[in-house]
Structure 1
């Protein structure tokens, strides 16, 4: 008993001592900033060199630079459509017409945005789909928010604010009407690359590593499928620093990819608790020619010594050398965006194939293989199950199986072919045979030539 009390007193004293030491260290750091020199000794840190000075313009530029590129484009498109609609209303009559968005009030948003969704049309004079209308309204909202933020005015949420109920009722009515008439019901999505299509790409030597361009395209394809990448911008943002070849104690190895930022995890305030996406690619021992690790290592070995560190994909040399196939100039995102279409076009098959096909292919293959949703989300980087479910797609064989189940077609009937054709059905009495008809099954028939 006494020993236990002594141990407890000792632990309490130790905690008090460690706490006092931490306080002393923190106080010393605050009073006398220090840094470690190359020889391992502490040197005085100049406070003027420790911090940087930024202007208000620098801060605003950084804020605007943090807006995703797709958001900027959709906002510009939405504002442009609004202004053209506004001009048409202004020229059509001398009565009231919509205001500019820069200083629009909540009451004006409620009134005019409701009228906008009813009247807006495409350049061809056709109705927009529901998804396009939603994109227009969201782009307009983003523009209004930016302008109000610059003036420190109250924000706006057109989908939740109670004083915008008239707009939401109007928008809801338009969406239901479009849906009832079949406008926008078929969504154009990137096609999934099937196993047969991928095999043909390899067998026809469209994918491979025997030329600089082919190796580059193959790496874009393989990394896109294995890492669930979507756009040319995501491929353009890849850097060699994001990849690490790890060797395990038992001799096995894998290529690890750690994402620095993406659409699903931009690293902002809302993403601060999210972990960076990490994917491990293991060797393809069954088919070494298609091994991603081998292709990646070969590609790295053929990059120039002065290769830029901020780009993985480099432009091929016009005259490649045995030890170097690529320039020190990065491939642009537009070229990377066209990679999948360029590859699939060589097969001459139909379908809507884009770089987004790589991401859809990744998720669909995992889904069809029976992977759990959390496993798929780890590879795809989705933060919600709803997001990853939108990428799931049944293959034609699965849909055929479901259709046959609904029609009560048994698996046995699917697999077994009849030995003989069904008896003929005669239409008239004169067509009936005069001799009796016999049906035989499981018989052995022998023919003898005399």
Structure 2
């Protein structure tokens, strides 16, 4: 049996073999190069150029390109434009700009990138992981954002859970998820978990991938007894979806009753709304940063690395194709570590905060009256010695009643009664302000 196909169908398959982002990159790169040629009064149909003519124009193009505001582009933007042109020329004109005939173009491009890095245009802005404080705000049982008793709150929590436990990032394929994309199963220990049941193609796993490639083997296990259990939330969300729509992410109803069977419309959420979901959560939760969807993946990978999970295992959950990608997350400094390092350096310089200065007040700077005020109500339990084991409940002693301190001082220091043996005692004196 064979299906009937026409040329339009074949053409559509060829056009859709690349991801949407790759197609946008190619289109933008080609349009920019045509605009450059038009401005130079050169025929913009560069597909008919000879290699030496194409080499010369590409060389000038890479040097002269600027942003709309007239500033230099970021290095990553320039590399993206080169990638788009290279892919277009290779597929359309069978020309590879990495061939020896384009050596001048390659030299100029490399020199341009070096110059841009020297001027500060080579930095890469990584998506920050979500801080522990912000995560606690979201997963607090009283959280308004992740309120599982409302359609919006339940959906946002389930969406975040799926993104976090499956180590997903960005907006890729979110719009095409269905009720069967994820499944619920039970392992050999009797614990329920959510897993990705349907494979998908993404930018890291295309048609050229090997059979062993995976988009992710992460699991989201149940937490019995926890009101924020991710599996319980997921099952509740599936039960509340509209029966006649297969999309996983459906629009919440404007009005509802908690006892209603359906909480969502027969309409799917748009890709732009899904693509900015974490930003909406950040705003609603009044978080410390305006996070993006990719921040969730950065948080998950960083947490797994901090916990000592091997990079090769993280790759199987996150879908990364190289350990270098994992290390790019692991090498970043968290906010607590940055604070710790700064405080450490401040300590070396002697510039400490008020609290640490107060903790280091010398004993001789405190008057006897202040010491009496500090320890007036303090009592210490006497630890019985081997000879005193018959004593069941030792009476508390005021060891630091300064009025009872003997005046005799030997070469070993002040003799305080009763004596303390084999002890280390630390006192932090904070004078009253």
Higher helix proportion (structure 1 or 2): 1
2:408 maps to: none
Judging changes above 3 Å, is the alpha-carbon distance between structure 1 residues 357 and 438 closer, same or farther for their aligned structure 2 residues?
Answer: closer
Q: TM-score, normalised by structure 1?
A: 0.73
CA distance in 1, matches of 2:187, 2:241: 27
What pairs up with 1:209-224 in 2 under 5 angstroms? 209-224=148-163
Using the TM superposition, give the Cα deviation of residue 378 of structure 1 relative to its aligned residue in structure 2, in angstroms: 1.4
1:254 maps to: 193
Of 81, 84, 94 in structure 1, the residue corresponding to residue 32 of structure 2 is: 81
SS at match of 1:289: coil
CA distance in 2, matches of 1:314, 1:250: 33
Aligned length: 366
Residue 112 (str. 1) matches residue 57 (str. 2): yes
CA distance in 1, matches of 2:290, 2:51: 41
2:409 maps to: none
Larger mean Cα displacement after TM superposition, 336-345 or 104-113: 104-113
Are the equivalent residues in 1 in contact too, given 2:250–2:264 (CA < 8 A)?
yes
User: Which digits, 9 at most, give the CA deviation of each residue in 1:265-324, with x for residues without a partner?
Assistant: 434133444245222111124x7222110110000111122232xx21111123335111
Residue 133 (str. 1) matches residue 78 (str. 2): yes
1:231 maps to: 170
2:19 maps to: 68
Larger mean Cα displacement after TM superposition, 329-338 or 319-328: 319-328
Question: For the aligned residues, what is the CA RMSD?
Answer: 3.0
Q: TM-score, normalised by structure 2?
A: 0.76
Residue 245 (str. 1) matches residue 184 (str. 2): yes
Of 277, 283, 306 in structure 2, the residue corresponding to residue 345 of structure 1 is: 283
CA distance in 1, matches of 2:310, 2:49: 48
CA distance in 2, matches of 1:252, 1:420: 50
Of 371, 380, 392 in structure 2, the residue corresponding to residue 445 of structure 1 is: 371
Judging changes above 3 Å, is the alpha-carbon distance between structure 1 residues 223 and 51 closer, same or farther for their aligned structure 2 residues?
Answer: same
Of 135, 143, 168 in structure 1, the residue corresponding to residue 106 of structure 2 is: 168
1:193 maps to: 130
Judging changes above 3 Å, is the alpha-carbon distance between structure 1 residues 348 and 251 closer, same or farther for their aligned structure 2 residues?
Answer: closer
Segments of 5+ residues of structure 2 without an aligned counterpart are 377-433
Segments of 5+ residues of structure 1 without an aligned counterpart are 1-49, 91-96, 149-153, 424-436
CA distance in 1, matches of 2:326, 2:54: 34
Using the TM superposition, give the Cα deviation of residue 65 of structure 1 relative to its aligned residue in structure 2, in angstroms: 1.1
Using the TM superposition, give the Cα deviation of residue 259 of structure 1 relative to its aligned residue in structure 2, in angstroms: 5.0
Judging changes above 3 Å, is the alpha-carbon distance between structure 1 residues 247 and 366 closer, same or farther for their aligned structure 2 residues?
Answer: same
Of 233, 236, 254 in structure 2, the residue corresponding to residue 318 of structure 1 is: 254
